[in-house]
């Protein structure tokens, strides 16, 4: 299936409690199959921007186009079923088994029971968990890393053409995080799913991204490929954020990318 393109067209979001726009006139085009990381400190608007794509956050101005159709004109429930969504807190449904969690979108889409069961087993293997062991477990019986894996499996279960991930590996230790990042790079390149990935972790951004979008105070500071950003930062803010000019960091970030892509 060909991946979806996503285009932000002058998107602005206001929160009543905030004295400035949470997202302030962001325009950005993401090609099908691209893995774009939104990078910035908390409060910079990256999560808000992400959540406008599946309409969990309404926009006050501008529009978002997924495959050239304005999401504002689509039924939000239908839209969300076609877009994968994974969050830092994971939010596995505590009243459902692992299999029911992973199969939730296919079941909402009306897949047959047998198709869902087969897909669940396939996905559990894809994220490195033995279906025979994990299928019937409750979320409360999972470790943090296992829960994050299930969260990713749930997000991609219905073969979405776009995937939204909001710090999905933020709550696990560094060893598990690297393993999950490796799997994500592999899965996304296999599925060729357009992916928007939010993080505040510069190293994680350099490891994963085809393109990094640095955000600050609701605006895009710079959008560029990781080492373009590093070698040619557009602003002082970006320069300091990525430690531009420091060769130790350059090698460190490059090593991180290799680490995830080594066989």
Which 165-204 positions form the footprint of other proteins (CB under 8 A)? none
Q: In the complex with other proteins, which residue's Cβ is closer, 25 or 72?
A: 72
Whole-number Cα distances in Å, 14 to 11, 21, 48, 53, 65: 10, 5, 10, 16, 20
CB 196 within 8 A of CB 36: yes
Which 14-73 positions form the footprint of other proteins (CB under 8 A)? 54, 56
Burial class (CB in 10 A: 0-12, 13-18, 19+), 12: middle
The torsion of the CA quartet 50, 25, 223, 65, rounded to 10 degrees, works out to: 50
74 sits near other proteins (criterion: CB under 8 A): no
- Contact window for other proteins (CB under 8 A) among 1-9, 74-82, 173-181, 239-247: 74-82
Distance in Å, CB of 140 to other proteins, minimum = 7
Distance in Å, CB of 16 to other proteins, minimum = 13
- Largest alpha-carbon pair distance within the chain? 55
- Among positions 1, 42, 68, 140, the unique one binding other proteins when judged by CB under 8 A: 140
Distance in Å, CB of 128 to other proteins, minimum = 21
Buried b (16+ CB within 10 A) or exposed e, 137-156: bebeebeebbbbbbbbbbbb
137 sits near other proteins (criterion: CB under 8 A): no
Q: In the complex with other proteins, which residue's Cβ is closer, 107 or 178?
A: 107
From CA 249, how far away is CA 258, in angstroms rounded? 14
Q: Which residues bind other proteins (CB under 8 A)?
A: 54, 56, 77-82, 85, 87, 89-95, 104-105, 108, 138, 140, 151, 154, 164
């Amino acid at each position: 299936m060909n991946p979806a393109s996503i285009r932000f067209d002058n998107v602005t979001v206001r929160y009543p409690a905030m004295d400035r726009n949470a997202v302030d006139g962001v325009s950005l085009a993401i090609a099908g199959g691209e893995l774009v990381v939104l990078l910035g400190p908390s409060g910079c608007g990256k999560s808000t921007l992400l959540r406008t794509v599946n309409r969990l956050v309404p926009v006050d101005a501008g529009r978002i186009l997924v495959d050239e159709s304005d999401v504002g004109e689509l039924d939000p429930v239908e839209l969300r079923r076609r877009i994968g969504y994974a969050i830092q807190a994971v939010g596995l449904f505590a009243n459902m088994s692992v299999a029911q969690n992973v199969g939730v979108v296919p079941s909402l889409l009306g897949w047959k029971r047998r198709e869902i069961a087969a897909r669940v087993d396939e996905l559990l293997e894809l994220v490195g968990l033995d279906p025979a062991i994990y299928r019937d477990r409750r979320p409360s019986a999972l470790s943090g890393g296992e829960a994050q894996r299930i969260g990713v499996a749930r997000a991609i279960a219905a073969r979405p053409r776009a995937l939204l991930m909001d710090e999905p590996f933020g709550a696990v230790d560094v060893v598990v995080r690297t393993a999950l990042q490796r799997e994500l790079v592999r899965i996304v390149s296999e599925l060729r799913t357009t992916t928007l990935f939010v993080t505040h972790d510069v190293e994680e951004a350099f490891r994963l991204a085809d393109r990094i979008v640095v955000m600050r105070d609701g605006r895009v500071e710079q959008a560029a490929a990781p080492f373009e950003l590093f070698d040619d930062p557009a602003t002082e803010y970006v320069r300091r954020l990525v430690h531009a000019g420091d060769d130790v960091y350059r090698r460190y970030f490059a090593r991180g990318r290799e680490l995830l892509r080594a066989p």
